[in-house]
Structure 1
């Protein structure tokens, strides 16, 4: 009888050991799941809604500041200057944003996004304080650098919202973000002009609004946005945030930062600060290009853990790589619509700053409608696959640019309709590219991949602005004098007044032009009318070049690979406060 009892005891102990082992495995599994990003729920929860609202508010705030500030640069210069370098208020912001975007995206993929978004808002607040108290243009330029850095971090919302919802709904999320910025897309230029025209605080009220909005967005992010504390990359590498930062590919980050700063600064200096054959812009541009090429070689062969993740590029020629190509070339075409519309309105149609804001409203609607429509339909139907959406957006841009080539004095209705179509294509293509890139990359690289689009677009746009500015400058230099002279010299204007008249009118200083020797109101108006035709020729050349870039973007889009199959129910991450809620329910 003793042996069977011993056997029973042994069996019982063995069974208990198995149970203990299973429990330990279960505890380990639960512990690991709680520490990892995990796959989130497909349904929207209260925590997700609050997080998306917080992210959307930060994204909207940086857009508001950019839209309104860009419309009042000249007014700020008139109050604090005048200077001949006030455009650096915009240029410094563009450079800071372009540099911050990939850095914020890539580093937040490693150490998490929450504090990046909060610090972005804090930088926005500091930027606003500097601008409100500014007594000189250099102070506003410094404010613009801070605003660009903060705005680049706040654009993480594009990636952060996408990873909270199923892949198949990422387009809809981008559509909602497009709606969130609708007021500033449509009325940003008009609002900026109204601030400096009608408010006693002039341009400063814009930055006060920015301080308020950034404060609210910081508080919302602090109390409502709780992404995983341990990211996919931290878990894969089995390390901590501080160790990950210490071992970051800082050489690659250095090449990227220096390359973007020098390239964008050099391009901005060309034609405006320095003539096109001057080393003042050639040297930084070449050095910036060399630095970016060096980045490519370093990331390819020089480091084991590159900042620019190799898996984004390896085997993805027709997806991620071509998406970036479309983005770069499309950015060259898109900037022709966005960056030069106000100048076209003032030069060709001779309208006031407030009227420029009014004439920008249809384009604002177009951008919002295009982005929203693309987000809602991309990947859902046979002819709205990711590839079809890119092709459609670039073809629409070609059509719009061809129509813009035919604008001239007295064609405001045609211009409004064409501007609307052009910005529809802009919004459509931009949102389509965001969705395409997010569907192509791995979950752990979504921040870098998404925000790299903005940086690539900025580089393409800056190169395009240089080309367009050169076309405008050269055309006005060769055409304006003879064209205006042919009209006003017959009316009795002394030839000695011709050159200063043309220069003053190009700079929109009609008041001083009216006091030139031999000037009459009739001669002044005739000169302005003649100059409008010089602007017409200049912008025809600009949009001819933009059409060529749009055609290149369309060709690249044709060769892209459809990634609609990735639009599944997969959710990249689960919020920390969602886990806590589930734990409470399980415990109960």
Structure 2
């Protein structure tokens, strides 16, 4: 950090190159007086933090701190919160067809997944940035409550449109529920950030891995069917909220801004224009993507106008943040001068483009090519979550205990590239190969993914890890939404070509009258051939084989479209920094007791006098 210069807490200071690139040593934070430490934010703003809020070196931490009820209660709350996020995403995303049959059918069913992605991509940046400014606790509690609201709405939904509203809430809530890199990362030594993130990931194993099986089992064996996903979200959400309330006491606002702005002043100086532009741009862009190829043709005025206005709004956001924002910007452009930071964002985004898409597409691959048995589809869909979690677990420890993270990323990216490209050979008679390749792809994508979660908190200063994680999470979510729209569009276009190409000749050759072709395609959509004139068992068998061929050819093209993204992932991995220099035993922040610190009390007294 910079040397002492006698600046007040309200005077901005340009961060040095060391601040932007390599400095991450809590013990070197400069003291302003005996009770506070001075920090410089990524946007150049100077703050003074209560020294009691800073953890310092591991050896100086209170005895038994990491075994205390307060720390373990916080960790348990974060684990339960992450499970709630999976309950709002993995389980519904794997049973959309079943949910649509129960509530609909509705042409808007894909919006259930899209709205979760939209909410999380917007929420990550807001939660990360605002929790750096106002403190973590109320952001975490707020998103937890919103998740409860979303699950209540979802459990009571009688229409697909109501379920869409529920997943808007759940998506935004997930931004807080999945912020364990921030919440837990700042409470442990830098060296432990990878393992602590991995512990949270592992806690969600039943739902992250076996979510598809659980979702389909609940649907087949309970009266409430898919609603149990939301019932469980409510139960675990309440437990998480209670634990957060009683055990999670991070540094307060007054400790983070000693002799600084009051909450009212901070609120007045928020980047409201930036928030409006970013949220508006994301919403319009993602709506345009969701409309394309489903509600409207890609070349329609509705899709093009919405997409272009969304892109223009996001461009206006970038220009405003860079040249016109006079307050602390929502997304400081100078952050992107850190090449390692940018590289981590890119690998996280490409990883999400695989994960989010396969979560939705893999059940379709299994169900259309290999089996129609609901439980078998569920078990075989666990390939995605299981592979991802396996890779995340490995990376969570190698980032801390195996040197040369950059080369770890290069190898993992190259392997994911190879196995993803190999999926272009998908075939109905190669089930074992498909499952093996899917597992290997997801494992190495999961590895890259969990290099990014703790890694993004290591390449930036402790006072800005919420912002850094929020930027990554937001861009990562947008990338996932783009991939979902892209792959779904490619699949739809290919099926529109391949279904007539393969099904019609097979059906007519088996004896179906040409006058029944239209009824045949309606029956394929409905999943019931009994109403097709002239149908018989031989024709149904021939059509079934032709459908597998049509879907196989279509999915091969989908996997070909992943190749450019795999190339981007591989090239970006060469720019990921090695982490050894960041892996100190310094602790960024520590949990506070219920008693106010001396500095906090003085600050509140000063603020009261100034208001009088």
TM-score of the superposition, structure 1-length normalised?
0.88
* Structure 1 runs (4+) greater than 6 angstroms displaced: 578-583
**1:166-565 matched pairs, under 5 angstroms:** 166-230=189-253, 234-235=257-258, 238-310=260-332, 313=335, 315-316=337-338, 318-382=339-403, 385-505=404-524, 507=525, 509-511=526-528, 513-565=529-581
Are 1:110 and 1:241, in contact at CA under 8 Å, matched by a contact in 2?
no
Count how many residue pairs are aligned between Structure 1 and Structure 2. Answer: 550
Distance in 1 (CA, whole Å) between partners of 2:254 and 2:558 is 46
The equivalent residue for 1:20 is none
The 3-state SS of whatever aligns with 1:489 is helix
Shift of 1:104: 0.7
Cα distance 1:325–1:306, how it changes in 2: closer, same or farther (>3 A)?
Answer: farther
Worse-matched range after superposition: 109-118 or 121-130: 121-130
The equivalent residue for 2:77 is 54
The equivalent residue for 1:136 is 159
The equivalent residue for 1:3 is none
Worse-matched range after superposition: 124-133 or 159-168: 124-133
Worse-matched range after superposition: 95-104 or 149-158: 149-158
Distance in 1 (CA, whole Å) between partners of 2:554 and 2:305 is 28
Shift of 1:314: 5.3
- Deviation per residue, 1:239-295 (Å, 9 max, x gap): 122321221111111111111111111111111111111121211211111111111
Match of 1:121 among 117, 136, 144: 144
Distance in 2 (CA, whole Å) between partners of 1:425 and 1:405 is 18
Distance in 2 (CA, whole Å) between partners of 1:176 and 1:526 is 49
- Deviation per residue, 1:305-333 (Å, 9 max, x gap): 343453762531x2112222233334334
Shift of 1:352: 2.6
Cα distance 1:557–1:332, how it changes in 2: closer, same or farther (>3 A)?
Answer: same
Are 1:232 and 1:444, in contact at CA under 8 Å, matched by a contact in 2?
no
Over aligned residue pairs, what C-alpha RMSD do you find? 2.4
Distance in 2 (CA, whole Å) between partners of 1:84 and 1:315 is 44
Cα distance 1:442–1:277, how it changes in 2: closer, same or farther (>3 A)?
Answer: same
Worse-matched range after superposition: 462-471 or 190-199: 462-471
Cα distance 1:61–1:28, how it changes in 2: closer, same or farther (>3 A)?
Answer: closer
Distance in 2 (CA, whole Å) between partners of 1:273 and 1:417 is 35
Distance in 1 (CA, whole Å) between partners of 2:109 and 2:103 is 10
The equivalent residue for 1:109 is 132
Distance in 1 (CA, whole Å) between partners of 2:35 and 2:467 is 34
Are 2:190 and 2:587, in contact at CA under 8 Å, matched by a contact in 1?
yes
Distance in 2 (CA, whole Å) between partners of 1:28 and 1:58 is 33
Are 2:49 and 2:256, in contact at CA under 8 Å, matched by a contact in 1?
no
The 3-state SS of whatever aligns with 1:39 is strand
Are 1:336 and 1:542, in contact at CA under 8 Å, matched by a contact in 2?
no
Distance in 2 (CA, whole Å) between partners of 1:487 and 1:402 is 30
Runs of 5+ unmatched residues, structure 2: 1-32, 38-47, 600-612
Worse-matched range after superposition: 365-374 or 40-49: 40-49
Cα distance 1:578–1:376, how it changes in 2: closer, same or farther (>3 A)?
Answer: farther
Cα distance 1:490–1:106, how it changes in 2: closer, same or farther (>3 A)?
Answer: same
The 3-state SS of whatever aligns with 2:106 is coil
Worse-matched range after superposition: 456-465 or 289-298: 456-465
Distance in 2 (CA, whole Å) between partners of 1:499 and 1:145 is 37
Cα distance 1:556–1:278, how it changes in 2: closer, same or farther (>3 A)?
Answer: same
Q: Is 1:573–2:594 an aligned residue pair? A: no
Are 2:350 and 2:566, in contact at CA under 8 Å, matched by a contact in 1?
yes
Distance in 2 (CA, whole Å) between partners of 1:556 and 1:28 is 39
Cα distance 1:347–1:40, how it changes in 2: closer, same or farther (>3 A)?
Answer: same
Shift of 1:189: 0.7
Structure with bigger gyration radius: 1
Shift of 1:351: 2.3
The 3-state SS of whatever aligns with 1:84 is coil
Distance in 2 (CA, whole Å) between partners of 1:81 and 1:329 is 33
